[in-house]
A and B are shown apart, each in its own frame.
Chain A
């Protein structure tokens, strides 16, 4: 038993698109400070789960509780301002605005009292995501990797309680991975609770202590990474070849 209130509580959450059960009666909870990975094949419903939590998609059934408050039917703006931030699998920058402006926008909207001026906070975040040399440039001049980092910077600038990262490593080359990994571990050390959707297991494992495995809208496994990846059903049926690659990766790293 755990008497501590979970930060996020998802119960019996369901969303169907026509005949597709994108999210099918999912329940789980996340404790404050946890860093949790969400893995599963394409189309498993991972992104839809994020869309449901952030109010972009309305559930057919079920309930989402954040910090003890029912947010199931709240607007996206209210959910975000209550302390949930997200990134998108396909980056969504404000292309004709500068890097600084991109990262500043959530601070204008946040109801939080910041410890220092918004300008300083924006500057710090721009540095943290490694874009200080591009601060005054328009986002349309950034590389894909830089846009990925911009997306993270924009999500974390308001110090959210819960951060949802949708494939933060997507499209990055091998030598770009560690930047993201370092930023995630730094955010986690600052106490931000994080959910990460990711295919690159070896990179993911550097930060997470818990993994949820999704398939066909269901959570089919939930546990420590080492345990989860040993469950035959997960390995054979859902990760298959992809996992074996990762196992080799991990072996290399040891």
Chain B
């Protein structure tokens, strides 16, 4: 299924950007052993992965997912649970976190994905909120249920994993977006009825794209929990649902490269300028940036240069 379209028009530019990011991330530890910069790089990786994960489903199919924090949170909790209760190879528990996010995502998302229209958006808004409320309730009932503390907190190990995850996620999702499979997802976005009339089982394709998205969001969540040393209900919070959307829109929806750029700008700015002392600064900064950018570049930074989509249909 994955025959790659010949690169045309924009040439290999997106691939160069991705390889450029991977190169910078790979040499950074050799250039400086400043822990702060490493920490920023890890956060950029995690945010870029979740923003690309958002894009590979919502940017390509046009089905806006306002609750990707659900997959992010589920991945994180599974990683935490596995690493505290079982002596698994970290890679195995990592993969299982992603797969768990896919499984739970499909259980909850599949019924609304089969339908056309706005059902999915509503479900996506509600599910992470409900999850975080439920978890808060459980913690009040029995504080130990999801208490996680024996996590791997070797920073080099986390750094290597972050760069590896970023690299695999960026390359694989970029190739998905440029493949025939990606073209079919864009057809759903452009006109779902015409896509069906072209012979596309749109429900199945939406679910496959949603699974890829949930998988990487789950992995990003797992890495985030490894980084923080704790899984908490805030992983399901609005921040992790809204930020990926803003980062993708800032960079350019449906381009995969756009979200990387969006994530770098938002996360990089916040951390390097140390404005994260304000509560919810991420959302605030991202919203302001997005507002300014969308006025001048409605298709996002990358999207305006190389073709992307406006937020919304």
Contact = CB atoms under 8 A, between A and B. Distances in A.
A55 B19 CA distance: 45
A163 to B, nearest CB: 12
Interface stretch (A92-100, A177-185, A215-223, A245-253): A92-100
Given A56-B193, A94-B191, A77 B200 contact: yes
B190 A56 contact: no
Contact of A86 (B8, B9, B197): B197
Interface in A44-82: 54, 56, 75-77, 80-81
B199 A92 contact: no
Interface stretch (B64-72, B178-186, B256-264, B277-285): B178-186
Given A105-B183, A105-B184, A136-B8, A94 B190 contact: yes
Contacts of B194: 88, 92-94, 154
Contacts of B197: 54, 56, 76, 80, 85-86, 88, 92, 155
A76 B193 CA distance: 10
Nearest to B181: A108
Interface centre among A76, A88, A95, A104 (most CB of B within 10 A): A76
A110 B199 contact: yes
B113 to A, nearest CB: 15
Interface residues of B, number: 20
Given A77-B201, A96-B186, A96-B190, A105 B195 contact: yes
A41 interface: no
B59 to A, nearest CB: 12
A106 interface: yes
A110 B9 CA distance: 27
A231 B180 CA distance: 51
A241 interface: no
A56 B195 CA distance: 12
Contact of A101 (B183, B195, B196, B200): B183
A5 B8 CA distance: 47
A110 B200 CA distance: 9
Interface in B175-215: 180, 183-184, 186-187, 190-191, 193-202
Contacts of A104: 183
A108 B186 CA distance: 13
Nearest to B193: A92
What band does the interface of chain A fall in when counting residues whose beta carbon is under 8 Å from B?
20 to 34
Contact of A106 (B190, B191, B193, B199): B199
Given A93-B191, A94-B186, A94-B187, A80 B180 contact: no
Contacts of B193: 56, 88, 92
A93 B189 CA distance: 11
A92 B8 CA distance: 25
A20 interface: no
Contacts of A155: 197
Given A105-B183, A108-B183, A81 B199 contact: yes
B199 A109 contact: yes
B288 to A, nearest CB: 28
21 contacts: A54-B197, A76-B197, A77-B196, A77-B199, A77-B200, A92-B191, A92-B193, A92-B194, A93-B191, A94-B187, A94-B194, A95-B190, A95-B191, A97-B187, A101-B183, A105-B184, A105-B187, A105-B200, A109-B199, A109-B200, A110-B199
Interface of A: 54, 56, 75-77, 80-81, 85-86, 88, 92-97, 101, 104-106, 108-110, 136, 154-155, 158
Given A86-B197, A88-B194, A94-B191, 9 more contacts: A77-B196, A77-B200, A88-B193, A92-B193, A94-B186, A104-B183, A108-B180, A109-B198, A155-B197
The 6 A-B residue pairs with the shortest CB-CB distance, nearest first, are A94-B190, A109-B199, A92-B194, A80-B199, A77-B201, A106-B198
